[in-house]
Structure 1
């Protein structure tokens, strides 16, 4: 989100730098066009290209925001209209399905077909997984990264990774609640097999519910080309991490991300500051 916002801010500075060179803008702002053109190296072509790119980014971000707000509003309405007042809602449907529905309050929807496909231990693990989606607001993480990816193509791999990681987050939450990673792995695999031959009838897109996830290919990884379910099961069958999450984070990607975001912030601030000083000088002259 920071990278997308800062990149749009930098493009906005370029657009403004090109606009202040116009005689009409100089007349409205009461500054000298000659001084601005002499002190500003941004060409009209650069400003025009920045204007087109910024327009595309703003329109794409607005469309994504509007679609996601509509979807979340529909989810909230559907959650309020479901029968009962408890968090768990069982619907009569032969097609196996289970998902977390964000709302006020959020609901966990499970079909009778899914309940019939799972035993008691698997049901407990599945419900703990869906509770994690609601309690940790995973739909907000997915929505934020998708919005950033719509405004800037660079975070798109991160958006796909976040959509997958929230599923792993919910898996680990369920493992802690149920006391067994192997049990959660069994429930994930069993639920996936149950739903493989059926198409869910839910009306909301999966991305709103935090259910999608694709992880980019990794070298020397036999699961690199596998789907999210095999990767989740394989991760649950490995030993749990022995250190706290902050100590497990890779330092090189974090340093690279911090460098990119910091450079973007520095460039946007420096460009805006220089433009401000130039306009102040042109106005004084």
Structure 2
């Protein structure tokens, strides 16, 4: 295996090792911080994956950019074209899946706004008549501000104090722009399959974030827990494609959320050992993600340097040093 290939494999393999670290770190933090950690990790790891693929894909094209014969590059590194073709195919598939996923997001949002058009209410609240039991945060769309959409049947299923929890929960989603965080991680998960676990973890912590905000508004964690449990029982726990774009009080692992609300308000970890552990985990996530980007950039720089050196050689007899350089890079001997 050549040195360049090792760099690329490491960059593409990083997310499999870093995603569990990011999830564990999120579990040590409060809901708000956990959401930002998971989002940042997903963005960095997806960026590293794309950078590695781009670096591998453009190797043969350096020949044209540097006015070097592609045949000469293939002579030095025979696997350059197959690897570039594979990277190009993967990136094309990623692009198709990203566009498809984004269109799905927009379609769900458009249909939700159409269904909410029957609702009535003041301010940010829309009450939709019907027998369905549902409630969700509806992000802004085409200049219209975000709304909290609640069915009349859901309101009838809850007590007065529980309705306040429900509305506070959905308003927390809108105020925190949670749909954007969910969308970013959802799209990042299309880039690399290892990031799907971050999407699931983020959905849970976003609901926990809104749960804590709702509990703070009503000033009673037990009432908040009861409201979420009753709403879930009335409407049925559901998943909305990773939480985007409709964030609902009944989505996610409701039992774990209720259990967390029955405990004291989460505090930042204390103690030197815990702080050191968190710092180590956070450093691992950031270091691994940045390393993936650095490896991809290094691939570009190494290949470009080799191409420039080869152009500057002038004659085959003077290329022994260049072939040594290429041998170090690609594991290939001189012709």
Taking structure 1 as the reference length, what is the TM-score of the superposition? Answer: 0.79
Say which of 51, 71, 87 aligns to 1:50: 87
* 1:78–1:269 Cα change, 3 Å: farther
Whether 1:266 and 2:294 are equivalent positions in the alignment is: yes
Q: Could you say what secondary structure the match of 2:133 adopts?
A: coil
The 10-residue stretch of structure 1 (271-280 or 6-15) with the greater mean CA deviation from structure 2: 271-280
Whether 1:193 and 2:247 are equivalent positions in the alignment is: no
Alignment check: 8 A CA contact 2:182 2:203 kept: yes
* 1:89–1:33 Cα change, 3 Å: closer
* 1:98–1:249 Cα change, 3 Å: farther
Aligned residues: 265
Alignment check: 8 A CA contact 2:131 2:153 kept: yes
Whether 1:17 and 2:59 are equivalent positions in the alignment is: yes
Structural RMSD (CA)? 3.4
Q: Could you say what secondary structure the match of 1:109 adopts?
A: strand
Say which of 138, 152, 160 aligns to 2:178: 138
Find the counterpart in structure 2 of residue 125 from structure 1: 165
The 10-residue stretch of structure 1 (154-163 or 4-13) with the greater mean CA deviation from structure 2: 4-13
Q: CA deviation at 1:108?
A: 0.8
Find the counterpart in structure 2 of residue 88 from structure 1: 125
The 10-residue stretch of structure 1 (96-105 or 33-42) with the greater mean CA deviation from structure 2: 33-42
Alignment check: 8 A CA contact 1:165 1:213 kept: no
Find the counterpart in structure 2 of residue 243 from structure 1: 268
Q: Could you say what secondary structure the match of 2:87 adopts?
A: helix
Find the counterpart in structure 2 of residue 161 from structure 1: 201
* 1:250–1:74 Cα change, 3 Å: farther
Write the distance in 1 (CA, Å) between the matches of 2:84 and 2:232. 51
Q: CA deviation at 1:46?
A: 2.4
Q: CA deviation at 1:52?
A: 2.5
* 1:145–1:83 Cα change, 3 Å: same
Where do 5+ consecutive residues of structure 2 fail to align? 1-42, 315-335
* 1:233–1:248 Cα change, 3 Å: farther
Q: CA deviation at 1:244?
A: 7.8
Q: Could you say what secondary structure the match of 2:267 adopts?
A: coil
* 1:212–1:15 Cα change, 3 Å: farther
* 1:278–1:71 Cα change, 3 Å: farther
Say which of 234, 241, 252 aligns to 2:259: 234
Q: Could you say what secondary structure the match of 1:182 adopts?
A: helix
The 10-residue stretch of structure 1 (234-243 or 245-254) with the greater mean CA deviation from structure 2: 245-254
Superimposed CA distance per residue, residues 65-109 of structure 1 (whole angstroms, 9 cap, x where no aligned partner): 232234345556666775455211112223321111111311111
Q: Could you say what secondary structure the match of 2:194 adopts?
A: coil
Whether 1:8 and 2:50 are equivalent positions in the alignment is: yes
Find the counterpart in structure 2 of residue 222 from structure 1: none
Say which of 269, 275, 281 aligns to 2:303: 275
Taking structure 2 as the reference length, what is the TM-score of the superposition? Answer: 0.68
Whether 1:255 and 2:295 are equivalent positions in the alignment is: no
* 1:76–1:116 Cα change, 3 Å: closer
The 10-residue stretch of structure 1 (4-13 or 230-239) with the greater mean CA deviation from structure 2: 4-13
Q: Could you say what secondary structure the match of 1:207 adopts?
A: coil
Write the distance in 1 (CA, Å) between the matches of 2:258 and 2:289. 34
The 10-residue stretch of structure 1 (239-248 or 173-182) with the greater mean CA deviation from structure 2: 239-248
Find the counterpart in structure 2 of residue 221 from structure 1: none
